[in-house]
C-alpha cells in the first residue's frame, strides 16, 4: 500500500512543526507621521532659503535701477512649471517692492537737458560716409553706350573674319558685322579698316548682357543718302542717273547709294525701256520715303522741272488753251501746263468761262504761282485789264497790249510782295 492510499484510508498523519509567525512590525501610521514631519521640515527650509534669495535678488534689482543699470533678467526657478494665468496676473501687479518709495523715486531724477523728439526724418548724403567721385566713376563705367539710332564715334581695335571690333567707350567694344561695313563691295577689308582708324557709326542694336553694342557704317551712310535726296526733292532738282537694270514695270538705277526705280509710264521712251540699260537719263523726284525705302523717279517730270527753271513769278507767258473745266482753263506752255482759275480770268462779272476763252485760243498770262515740287503753275489774265471786266468787252485789245500791260502788272506784284514781306 502506498503512502497516498494509506492517507486516504484514514491513517493518522504525523504531526508537522508549524511555521513561526512573523514578528510584529512597527505600526504604518507612526512611520507615515515621521516621514511627513521630515518632508514638511525640508519644505520649510527650502521656502525660507528661496524667500531669502528672492529678497536678495529684488534688493539688488532696486539698487541697480537706482544706479541707472539695466536689471538682469530673472532666471527661471528650477523645477517650476509655467505659471497659471491667475498667478501671472498677481505677479504682474505685485507692488511689494515699491513700499517706501516716493513718486520722485519712481519717476527718477529729471534730465538737465530736454529730450529731443526723434522723428523719421530723411537722412542726407552728408550723414553717410559717401565717396561722390567713386560713385560717379561707377556710374560712368556701367552707363550704357549708345541707343538704337544714335551716331557715335569709335576706334578700330580688331578684325575678325565676320566683322570689326570698335572701341566705343563702353565696358565692352562694339561689333560691326562685315555686311554692315559700308555701301557697295569692299575688296580689301584690312585696308579699309586698319587698327587705330577712327570711324563714325550708327548704333543698330543696344548693348547685350555683356555690354556689347552692334554698330553699322552702312546704315549711317544710307541715312545720310536719304537726307541728301530729300533735300534734292524739296529743291525740285533734276539729277543724272545711269540705268543699271530693267523689269516689266520699268528700269532701275542708283542714286547716292540708293536703289531708284523709274516706271515705264515716266519714261520718254517706255516702249523699248530694256534698251536704256547703261544710258544716262535726267530724272526728277516722284516719291522719296526713307521709311518704306521707296525712291521713285521720272524722266518726264524732269523735262517739266527743267522747264520750271526757266520760269519765275511775274513772268508773262504765252500758251494755248488745252482744256476748259468748270473751275478754269488748262493752258499748254510748251511741255508743261498752267492753270488759269476762273477767279483770275477777269475782275468783272463772269457768267461763263467760254465768254472769254475757248479751247484752242491763244492766251497771254502772268505767272502768279510756281510749285516745282508738285509741278503746279498758277496763271492770271485779270492783272492785264485796265478797267474791271475789260477782257469781257475787248479781249483782242488786251491780248495785243499784253507786253506793255505786263510791266505795269509786274510792278504791282512787286509792291504786293514788299508789303507782304
Q: Is 126 part of any domain?
A: no
Instruction: Look at residue 111 in the predicted model and tell me its pLDDT.
Output: 53
Residues 329 and 220: their CA atoms lie apart, in Å, by 48
Say how far residue 13 (Cα) sits from the centre of its chain.
125
**Same domain, yes or no: 177 and 198:** yes
**Same domain, yes or no: 296 and 335:** no
pTM listed for this prediction: 0.48
**Same domain, yes or no: 398 and 318:** yes
Instruction: Look at residue 213 in the predicted model and tell me its pLDDT.
Output: 87
Grid cell locating 89: 496676473
Question: Could you give the number of structural domains in the chain?
Answer: 3
Residues 203 and 207: their CA atoms lie apart, in Å, by 9
Q: What is the pLDDT along the chain (421 residues), one digit of tens a residue?
A: 444 444 444 444 445 545 444 444 545 454 555 677 788 888 888 888 888 888 888 888 887 777 765 545 554 544 444 555 544 555 555 555 555 666 555 555 555 555 555 555 555 555 555 566 765 665 455 555 667 888 889 999 998 888 999 998 877 888 999 889 888 778 888 888 999 999 999 898 877 777 788 999 989 999 999 999 999 988 878 899 999 999 999 999 999 989 999 999 999 888 889 999 999 999 999 999 999 999 999 998 888 777 888 888 889 999 999 999 999 999 998 878 899 999 999 998 888 888 899 999 999 999 999 887 677 899 999 999 989 999 999 999 999 999 988 888 888 777 777 777 6
Residues 279 and 299: their CA atoms lie apart, in Å, by 13
End residue of a domain, out of 268, 285, 304: 304
Residues 154 and 217: their CA atoms lie apart, in Å, by 11
266 three-state secondary structure = helix
Q: Is 119 part of any domain?
A: no
Instruction: Look at residue 269 in the predicted model and tell me its pLDDT.
Output: 83
The CATH number of the domain holding residue 163 is 2.40.50.140
- For residue 326, the tally of other CB atoms under 10 A from its CB is 7
**Same domain, yes or no: 297 and 347:** no
Instruction: Look at residue 261 in the predicted model and tell me its pLDDT.
Output: 96
Contact 271, 250 (CB under 8 A): no
Using alpha carbons, select from 282, 287, 245 the residue that is nearest to residue 267.
Answer: 282
CA dihedral 250, 255, 258, 262 (to 10 degrees): -10
Give the helix/strand (H/E) hosting 343. none
Q: Is 331 part of any domain?
A: yes
**Same domain, yes or no: 300 and 336:** no
Instruction: Look at residue 56 in the predicted model and tell me its pLDDT.
Output: 85
Contact 370, 377 (CB under 8 A): yes
Q: Is 188 part of any domain?
A: yes
297 three-state secondary structure = strand
Residue written as cell 526728277? 284
**Residue 164: CA atoms inside 13 Å, Cβ hemisphere, count?**
28
Query: Domain of 251?
Result: 236-304
**Same domain, yes or no: 315 and 380:** yes
Q: Is 12 part of any domain?
A: no
Instruction: Look at residue 210 in the predicted model and tell me its pLDDT.
Output: 73
Amino acid at each position: 500500500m502506498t503512502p497516498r492510499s494509506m492517507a486516504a484510508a484514514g491513517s493518522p498523519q504525523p504531526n508537522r512543526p508549524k511555521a513561526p509567525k512573523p514578528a510584529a512590525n512597527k505600526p504604518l501610521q507612526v512611520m507615515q507621521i515621521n516621514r511627513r514631519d521630515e518632508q514638511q521640515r525640508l519644505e520649510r527650509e527650502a521656502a525660507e532659503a528661496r524667500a531669502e534669495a528672492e529678497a536678495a535678488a529684488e534688493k539688488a534689482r532696486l539698487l541697480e535701477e537706482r544706479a541707472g543699470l539695466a536689471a538682469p533678467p530673472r532666471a527661471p526657478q528650477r523645477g517650476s512649471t509655467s505659471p497659471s494665468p491667475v498667478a501671472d496676473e498677481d505677479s504682474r501687479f505685485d507692488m511689494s517692492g515699491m513700499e517706501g518709495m516716493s513718486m520722485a523715486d519712481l519717476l527718477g531724477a529729471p534730465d538737465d537737458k530736454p529730450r529731443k523728439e526723434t522723428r523719421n526724418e530723411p537722412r542726407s548724403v552728408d550723414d553717410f560716409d559717401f565717396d561722390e567721385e567713386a560713385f560717379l566713376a561707377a556710374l560712368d563705367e556701367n552707363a550704357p553706350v549708345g541707343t538704337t539710332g544714335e551716331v557715335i564715334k569709335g576706334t578700330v581695335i580688331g578684325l575678325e573674319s565676320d566683322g570689326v571690333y570698335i572701341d566705343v567707350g563702353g565696358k565692352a567694344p562694339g561689333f560691326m558685322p562685315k555686311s554692315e561695313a559700308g555701301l557697295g563691295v569692299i575688296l580689301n577689308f584690312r585696308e579699309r579698316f586698319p587698327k587705330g582708324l577712327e570711324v563714325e557709326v550708327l548704333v543698330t542694336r543696344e548693348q547685350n548682357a555683356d555690354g556689347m553694342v552692334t554698330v553699322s557704317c552702312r546704315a549711317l551712310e544710307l541715312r545720310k543718302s536719304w537726307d541728301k535726296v530729300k533735300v534734292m526733292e524739296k529743291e525740285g532738282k533734276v539729277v543724272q542717273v545711269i540705268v543699271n537694270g530693267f523689269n516689266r514695270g520699268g528700269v532701275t538705277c542708283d542714286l547716292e547709294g540708293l536703289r531708284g526705280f523709274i516706271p515705264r509710264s515716266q519714261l520718254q521712251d517706255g516702249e523699248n525701256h530694256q534698251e536704256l540699260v547703261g544710258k544716262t537719263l535726267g530724272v526728277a523726284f516722284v516719291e522719296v520715303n526713307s521709311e518704306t525705302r521707296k525712291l521713285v523717279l521720272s524722266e518726264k517730270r524732269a523735262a517739266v522741272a527743267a522747264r520750271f527753271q526757266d520760269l519765275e513769278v511775274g513772268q508773262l507767258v504765252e500758251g494755248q488753251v488745252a482744256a476748259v473745266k468748270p473751275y478754269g482753263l488748262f493752258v499748254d506752255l510748251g511741255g508743261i501746263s498752267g492753270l488759269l482759275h476762273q477767279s483770275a480770268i477777269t475782275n468783272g462779272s463772269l457768267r461763263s468761262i467760254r465768254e472769254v476763252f475757248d479751247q484752242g485760243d491763244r492766251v497771254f498770262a502772268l505767272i502768279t504761282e510756281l510749285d516745282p515740287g508738285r509741278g503746279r503753275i498758277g496763271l492770271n489774265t485779270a492783272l492785264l485789264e485796265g478797267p474791271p471786266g475789260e477782257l469781257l468787252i475787248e479781249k483782242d485789245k488786251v491780248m495785243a497790249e499784253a507786253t506793255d500791260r505786263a510791266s505795269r502788272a509786274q510792278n504791282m506784284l512787286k509792291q504786293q510782295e514788299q508789303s507782304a514781306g
